[in-house]
Each structure stands twice: as structure tokens, then as C-alpha cells.
Structure 1
């Protein structure tokens, strides 16, 4: 019986040895047979330290006629760099004997979680994935920039003044609340990055004072891209927006760049005899709904760009407003626009001082890919347009005086490759059409600090045309 079992065992062992030999013959050991890669480097956008990135991937190809056995795949500086790899479902940072069959490929997944750099500016982080195959060393470079941020979670500012400077970015979760007795002062270069749905809620006072070279920024926290040619920063709906509550007055936003919100700037009803908000030399861009909604309040704006919204650029419900040398352009292209560029409610005085809407636009450009006004009939209202440019047909009357109709401002870019540039170009119908009587000390310079010429008519809108010198 023992003898009968002995021969099958010998047969099976012999068969395994033969199969192993055949299996080994399937692998090439020729150093000339190398791996090929879909890229020679993986580069991440700037990321906040201690915040993980989205996962990126690349492909490793074996283009030879036999299988390749990769002796090792190693993340060179895994302990320090903060990069992580996964090879076809196998986690790194060190893997061995990875097989790539003939004319086949494997996927490498990469992500990063960068440690604090203790620096104000973004710091470059480097590493590489090293492949050893038949004694041949190949690598793919990894690169990211880590940026330390000051994190605020559900922060309520105490009474008195709180100042945020431009040294490091502020990453805001669950909203930042300026309490009724508090003032939030934002110095030049202050950068506020808001997490999904987070808002700036102003119950006290906001004093944002940037410069043309160092504006104050409000934007979403995503620094990466949705697609290779579409950064998240180009998209609306990345964060909540700014809301000014009923008892908040004397707010100022000068040299501010605000973009990518869901609700834009929302202003609660208040005493219209007190200034609620002054916007100057600022760009308010890209809201999923209304860009600015003012409810029975008193707001003023000059040298500002109001651009791109899924709703109205300005939605005014009663109250007062004045816009001088502003560019209002709506070529929003991420969804259907649901409202006219300018939308007004409570136009007619019903006997209450805070009901009738009063709005004045002077030396402004007002254009877009949707209708101009809602309602379309504003006769007998206190809505007036003086020396303004429109891209629609029309004629002057008691509400429209010395306006430029059916005109082309020749904006530099209105959405090609998701880029919007509302500077006026050569041959613009806005050049030299402004009324110099509307200029004052605040308006001698345009949004970017270019001098408006004296003794002649200024250009309409927020930007003076600057001729390019070849």
C-alpha cells in the first residue's frame, strides 16, 4: 500500500517542477526589456497640509513579448514626503515581485497628505516611485506643494476687533461668525478659503481692505482640478457666501476678490438711511444663484466687476443702491441662467419709506447672454441709467439717459476654455463714452489703479482701456 502511494507522489512532484520550469520560461530576464509609463511625473496642485489630496493614477506598461517580474516598487522617501501609493490594489510603500504579463499593464494610484511645513508660503514636496526590473532602475517623479493654513471650525469672533493678515491662508469649516459686537478686519493679502457650504456670517461689522497688488480673497477650499483644464476654483457652488444680518452697518469691501460661492452676497433688510455696505475696486464673480441680493438696504459700489451668476447679478428688493463705473456682465455657462441681469422688486412707492426701490447706475457696462431687466417696464420707477452701455436694443427715455445701445464692449474673454476676462479690448464701444462729471477722488483711478485721463471722457465700466505696446 505504501509502495502504491509512493509513485503518484513522485509523479506530482515531477509535474510541478516541470510546470515551474515552463512558468519561468514565460519571464524575460533581458535588461533591454524595460517598463514603459504613461507619464514620467505626477504633479499635484497646491494642497493644504494635513489635508489629503484626490487620488491620481498612471499606467505601467510591459510592451515585450514575455512577462516581466518587477523585483521591487518602492516609494523612495515614504517616511518624510507624505505620498502614498497603491499598485493594482496592493498598498505600498514597498512591494516586491509584481508581475506584468506580456503586452499588459498595471495601474499605480498616488495620493498625498503633507505634514505642516511651518512656513508662510507653499513649500515644494518631492518624492519618486522606484521600479527595479531585471536589475534596471526606473522611476516616476512625484511633486506637490504643501501650504500651512490656520483652521477655523465654527468660529464665533468675540466682541471687539479681530484682525486677519495675509501671512497664511485661513481654512474655514462650519462658517465664520462675526458676532454683533465684533469687527472683522481683513488686511491686504488675507485669504479666506471656505469649506463646502461654509459662510461668512456678519452680524457685527466687516472691514476688508486689500490693495490692487494684494487683494483680500474669499473662495472655496479646493485647490485641485475637476478636469485637467478645469480647476475647482473656476466653478460656482464651492462654498456658501457672505450674509450681512439686519443690525450690521458700515461694512466695507475694498480690493476684494470673491468667487465660486453658492449664494453670493446676501443683505438683510435694515434702516435704509444708514449705509449697509460699500463695495469698491472689487471683483465679485461666479455665484450659483444671485450674485448680490439686497433686501431693503442701502448699498454703494464703484469700480467693481460683478460677473457670472445662475441668477441675477443684482437682485434688489426695495431700498437704495448706487453703482458708478462698474462692469456688470453675466455669461455664466455652468447652468441655465434663471434671472435677468438686474432684477428689481417693490419698484413703486406704497407709502412706506423703505419700500420703493431706488437704484442709479452711472458710467457702467451692463451686458450678458440673458435679458437685461426684470421687470422690463420701469417707467415711473426710481431706477435710472446714466451714460451706460448695453448689448441690447433700446432707446433713451426718462429712465435711460445718454446711454450706448446695442453695443459691443469687446471683452477679452467671455468663457472660452472656462476663462473670463472682462477688461475691454481694442475697438470697444465703451472707450471714451463715460461722463467725467461722475468722477471724484475715489474714481480718478480704475479697479486696477490705472489713472483715468482728465479733460476727456473716461471709458465705461470698472477698467480703463490700456493700449498694448508691442
Structure 2
């Protein structure tokens, strides 16, 4: 019994000594042992007021052999800034007595929720997270831009009225925005419409988007954060629904519009082909997870436009009439899905008892990308014509293809590296350079999409953009 008691006492003494020794040996009080951080500043993309952001995080490292005791972690201006922190599972704004073991790390999570600023321009909000370790003060800066918005939830514009949106601050649309019959929605230059997931613009009346080269009218999704460091959600398709132009809607005008990131693109219902359904000019329609533009027995007109990147067709025309002058059709879609359709789809292109055949003209256009060019491939005896267009496939002219550039390389600036796209011409060696027909340079196309002149007496470049010699 005495022997057993002796072993118990000895074990307790040894355990106490070991624990005490470990604590003394592994816990540092040296001010030279300090923390390091994975970043010295956490920056949020612009966030809408009264709506929380996605959570960002950074890591806190202890590179010393011994454990470090963090006396406090404090959000310096928590009462005013709108930031929130969580350190290793403990919520702020003040967390005390944290331990980081030697050669170990912990996570800090940061959120932001910005109150309305009652101003039109984005407001810069700053704060810092202060760490005190062994009496040493260190901090990580926090920054965010808060943007006030006009919030619309299932808004139906009054019937029979002309409504002009303000360009002073953006609109954030949930569910839908409906332009009633006999109404007009006027969007002046610089107007931005952010659409929440699956939200749509339903046009039963008319939309007049009147942007400019430096201040386009913008339609885009409302995700302002990033999927990855180098991949903003704004680069992705499927961020919002799209635009639906209904049967009795006519004379829509999209001038200097930037539209991107949709699920269904622009869907145009059948109507009276003697009236113009929509006119696109100097605009960029980009990135859809289905067709980019789908028109059924309608009349559409476009010049100086870029139609780019879709999992479906860039342009699906079913009957009706269409004219595209100095447009760039480029499909290098690669994010979230694959290209599932030809660039151009033509349907109802022959005479039937129920409808007139499709009439379409593409002139001075670039039509290029990954995947099949068009459907059908054989256009003989149709009223679908291509005049002075550039293709990246082999072919030859016939009655439907006139003076076309076959197997030509437009030499675009960027076609998807690091998720970047730029369909300007990069060189005078481009097959599109001065290859256009002067007959299609008129009052509308005297300048290109960016406002660069197409000079009189010189053949224009094919596509929406004129090559501009870089200034050295």
C-alpha cells in the first residue's frame, strides 16, 4: 500500500514539474517575439449601404518557437466604422487573452455593414484591428467604400408615363423592374442598374438608354466582391436574369450601353416586323450563361457594337429582320460552362405559310470565336448576307458571302488570359485592319464604338473598333 502511495505521489510531482516546465519553456514574454500577418490591409470592394458584405479573412502568424499570448485584439473604431471581427471563434470588438502556439497561426474574419451616407458618391470607410502582444502594438488596416443606392423591389413603373432615372446614384433591383405598356424608361448617361440574383428587366413599354463614351449606361449584377483574388463576380455569367422585351414593345434604344453577366441575355418577343423593335449602337453586350441575344420575328438594328461571350449563341435570329454594321461578334466563353451553340443561329429563314423568311445583313463585321460558326452552314437561297466580314474559318465567297475575309486573324488585344477580354485590334498586322468597305461608313458609323474616327477616303477597319496607333 505504501509502495502504491509512493508511486502516485511521485507521478503527481513529476507531472507538475513537467507541466510547469513546459509552460515556462514554451510561453514567451520577449517583446522581440511578435506577430506577423498575411496582409497589412484588408480592402473590401464597394459595398451597398445597409447590406452586409461577404466575409474576408487574414491569418495571424507566430513564427517563434514559443507560444505568444495576445493580450488584446481591438477593433479601434467599432462604434462608427461598421466593421465586425471574429478572431479564432471569438467575436469582437475586443477579444482578450488569446494564445498562438509556436510555429502556429490563427484566422481573423472581417465583415462590414455600412450605414447610409446620404450622399451620391462612394464614401471611404476606414478602421484598424489593433493587436497587443508582450506590450508591442501592431495593427492591420481596414478599408471599404460604401455606396448609397436606390432600392427597387418588384417595381412596376406607372402606366402611360415617361420615367427618367437619376444618374446621381445607382439602382439596386430585386426580383424585377417592369416598364408598363405605354410607358418609357429613360436612362441618362452614367446611370447604373445593379440586379440581384435572378432579377430581370421586363420591358412592355419602351427603354431609352442614352449613355456616352465616357459614361455608359450599365446593366450588371450586384455582386461587388470576388470569387477568387483575381476573379471578381462581375466577370462571371449568370449573376442576374436578363432583359425581356415583350410583344408590344417598340422603338427601344440602347446607345452606349454596357450590359454583362446575365443568365438569359436579351430575349425579344415576336412583333410587327415593319417597326423597329430595338436599336443597339456603340454598346457592349457581354457574357451570358445562355444565348446573348434571342430575337423571334422582330426587327433589330445594330452598329458599332460588341456582342461577346456566351454559353449559347451570341445572336439567335428566328425570322424577322436584322442588320449589323461594324459589329464584333466574339465568343471566347470559358467560365463556369462550355460553349454549347454556334455563334450565330438562324431559324425560320425560308418561306412558310405562317411567316416571312428571315432577312439579315452583316456588313464590316468580325465573326469569330471558339466553337461552330453558324447554323445552318448552307445559306443558299436565303436572304442572309455577309458583306466584307472577317471569319477565322476557311471558305469562299458566293451569293450570300461578298468580299469576305476568310481564315483571318483579327489579333485581338486579349481573349481570356487572366479572365481579361479586349476585342480591340492589337496591331496593324490584323486581318481586319483597313479591310472594310467604305460603303458602310455613314453618319452612324463615322466613329467607332469608342469614338475614334473612321477617316474619309481610307478603308475602315472591320469590326466595332478602329485600330489606334499607341502613343510612345
Structure 2 vs 1, CA of residues 101 and 362 (structure 1 numbering), >3 Å: closer, same or farther?
A: same
Partner of 1:255: 256
Alpha-carbon distance between aligned partners in 1 of 2:460 and 2:104, rounded to the nearest angstrom:
65
Kindly provide the CA deviation profile for residues 23-53 of structure 1, in whole angstroms up to 9, marking residues without a partner as x: 4664221111111212111111111111111
Q: Is the 8 A contact 1:149 1:169 kept in 2?
A: yes
Structure 1, 118-127 or 78-87: larger mean CA deviation: 118-127
Partner of 1:5: none
Structure 1, 110-119 or 395-404: larger mean CA deviation: 110-119
Give the alignment's Cα RMSD to 1 decimal: 2.0
Residue 16 of structure 1 and its aligned partner are, at CA, apart by 8.2
1:337-348 maps to which residues of 2 (within 5 A)? 337-348=339-350
1:219-234 maps to which residues of 2 (within 5 A)? 219-234=220-235
Kindly provide the CA deviation profile for residues 44-67 of structure 1, in whole angstroms up to 9, marking residues without a partner as x: 111111111111111112222222
User: What TM-score, normalized to structure 2?
Assistant: 0.94
Match of 1:173, SS state, is: strand
Structure 1, 298-307 or 63-72: larger mean CA deviation: 63-72
User: What TM-score, normalized to structure 1?
Assistant: 0.95
Structure 1: stretches of 5+ with no match in the other structure: 1-7
Alpha-carbon distance between aligned partners in 1 of 2:107 and 2:426, rounded to the nearest angstrom:
47
Partner of 1:242: 243
Kindly provide the CA deviation profile for residues 92-145 of structure 1, in whole angstroms up to 9, marking residues without a partner as x: 110111111222221111111111122211111111110111111111111111
Alpha-carbon distance between aligned partners in 1 of 2:23 and 2:330, rounded to the nearest angstrom:
68
Alpha-carbon distance between aligned partners in 1 of 2:289 and 2:45, rounded to the nearest angstrom:
24
The runs of at least 4 aligned residues of structure 1 exceeding 3 Å deviation read 15-26
Structure 2: stretches of 5+ with no match in the other structure: 1-7
Q: Is the 8 A contact 2:211 2:255 kept in 1?
A: yes
Alpha-carbon distance between aligned partners in 2 of 1:445 and 1:26, rounded to the nearest angstrom:
72
Alpha-carbon distance between aligned partners in 2 of 1:211 and 1:418, rounded to the nearest angstrom:
26
Alpha-carbon distance between aligned partners in 2 of 1:105 and 1:446, rounded to the nearest angstrom:
54
Partner of 2:454: 452
Alpha-carbon distance between aligned partners in 2 of 1:272 and 1:83, rounded to the nearest angstrom:
55
Alpha-carbon distance between aligned partners in 2 of 1:436 and 1:22, rounded to the nearest angstrom:
85
How many pairs align? 461
Alpha-carbon distance between aligned partners in 1 of 2:362 and 2:26, rounded to the nearest angstrom:
78
1:63-142 maps to which residues of 2 (within 5 A)? 63-142=63-142
Alpha-carbon distance between aligned partners in 1 of 2:41 and 2:209, rounded to the nearest angstrom:
40
Structure 1, 71-80 or 438-447: larger mean CA deviation: 438-447
Q: Is the 8 A contact 1:272 1:296 kept in 2?
A: yes
Partner of 1:48: 48
Partner of 2:281: 280
Q: Is the 8 A contact 2:26 2:65 kept in 1?
A: no
Match of 2:439, SS state, is: helix
